[in-house]
Amino acid sequence: MELCDLDIHTLHSKLVSKEITPIDILDSVSKRIREREKDLNSFITIDLELATHMAKESMKRFEKNKGLSMLDGIPMGIKDNMVTKGIRTSCGSKILEHYIPPYSATVVERVLKAGAVLVGKTNMDEFAMGSSTENSAFGPTKNPHALEYAPGGSSGGSAAAVAAGEVICAIGSDTGGSIRQPASFCGVVGMKPTYGRVSRYGLVAFASSLDQIGPITKTVDDCALLLGIMAGHDPKDSTCSSLPVPDYTGFLKRSIKGKKIGIPMEYTVEGIDPDVLKIFGEATERLRSEGAQIEEISLPHTQYAIAAYYIIATAEASSNLARYDGVKYGLRMEDADLLGMYEATRSQGFGREVKRRIMLGTYVLSSGYYDAYYLRASKVRTLIKRDFELAFQEVDVILAPVSPVPPFKLGERIKDPLSMYLVDAYTTPTNLSGLPAISIPCGRIGRLPVGIQFIGRPFDEGGLIWVADAFEETLGGR
């Protein structure tokens, strides 16, 4: 097995024993990028010169037995909607194609401080708007398990890069399932933390009340490690929690005997793909055989989640994207007057899906429609949150499919927005509620991976890691 196919923990052990060096790992990753990137298109920007410099600095530390953390010397990718000082941050959009930020996001600073080797910025749906990474201005990313299939989105580049061995781990963002769904489609682990657990400072906003940054890794062990480095209070983000961050690796290797796991009856109704349902049923029985107590629960307002989500998300997007006008930064199209410049810049800078969501968001916030749409969606959001609160009075975690459908072919849904939006039916409720959730590989349909997700109480990422790690053990993943 090549070094690029190993996980963080295994590589760190080899680094500490001086069996390998950070340069060896980067060489393996670089070779894999040369072999596969032309087909996959996982990255928007790759900077191997910078990565080599970082790897050499890491090697010096290991020679002196002064590694900064278990992440030291590990090549990783950052989704291209997190600003990186001196490195292009495009958000997958022409409007920011040449934007070089003067500062780095808090999460970027934290992983670099821990010694991570930044390989590049990963591809994504434009401004994180999409579920297939087909909306990128830099071309679609392809699923590494079958190139004719989508890798999921909007963090498809991050998930595909990890699955293909182009990086060892990556960071994504999740607004309505954008970490968990591509993790499921690509066969890797992806976590959306509780809203406020990880700083959003430096994350280019799509929908500010829904966005959350999280890790994408090869194993649950690695997820626990990376989350611990990323999480924690940040005075630069007023929505970031000041609650202490536990040692998430302390939740590993525990028994789930007696754990109460809820199965929402609304998540297994008509509309879910039979093969996905079969894999989900097998996962349920596997947990039961490990001693978990499986209980049916109800989340009655689930059917309204997609509608509420797309009203709230597009409303916030229309406000957040108003700053891209050709004046402050990014693309500027000259015209005869100021209004013409605004129109030309936004018309040529934004893609079709971004324009669609801006128009929808502006409509639901407009006079005469605010109460009928946005206000009502906000009330539904409260009801969905209450459903989860009541459910967690009965169970410890909730088990659900990640998506009602398996990975789909590129081009299959892109011309039917409603069909694409329904892919997020099982992930959007947790964003509306601000809850943590983790996607973990569960099985395959032919060549294509399928994942399941565990949903937890607010700030109980440790409990999710506990259960997900135990489940991974049943698959022989440890």
Q: Give the domains, in start order, of the chain with CATH numbers.
A: 3-257+400-474 (3.90.1300.10), 303-362 (no CATH)
Nearest by Cα to 177 from 208, 210, 206, 204: 210
Q: Determine the Cα–Cα distance for residues 272 and 42; give it in Å rounded to an integer.
A: 29
- The pLDDT of residue 418: 86
Concerning whether 79 is annotated as a catalytic residue, the answer is yes
- The pLDDT of residue 477: 52
Chain mean pLDDT for the chain? 96
Concerning whether 66 is annotated as a catalytic residue, the answer is no
Query: Cβ distance 243 to 249 under 8 Å?
Result: no
Rounded to a whole number of angstroms, the CA Rg of the chain reads 21
Residues paired with 192 in a beta bridge: 437
Q: Which two tokens stand for residue 147?
A: 């190139």
Concerning whether 178 is annotated as a catalytic residue, the answer is yes
Q: Is 337 exposed, middle or buried (0-12, 13-18, 19+ CB in 10 A)?
A: exposed
Query: Cβ distance 81 to 180 under 8 Å?
Result: no
Q: Out of 30, 58, 79, 158, which one is annotated catalytic?
A: 79
- The pLDDT of residue 270: 75
Nearest by Cα to 400 from 259, 280, 273, 289: 280
Prior bond of 132 cis (ω within 30°): no
- The pLDDT of residue 476: 66
Q: Which residues of the chain have pLDDT under 50?
A: 478
Q: Out of 136, 154, 199, 318, which one is annotated catalytic?
A: 154
DSSP 20-78: S-HHHHHHHHHHHHHHHHHHH--EEEE-HHHHHHHHHHHHHHHHTT---STTTT-EEEE
- The pLDDT of residue 478: 44
pTM: 0.97
Q: Out of 104, 131, 178, 433, which one is annotated catalytic?
A: 178
- The pLDDT of residue 27: 98
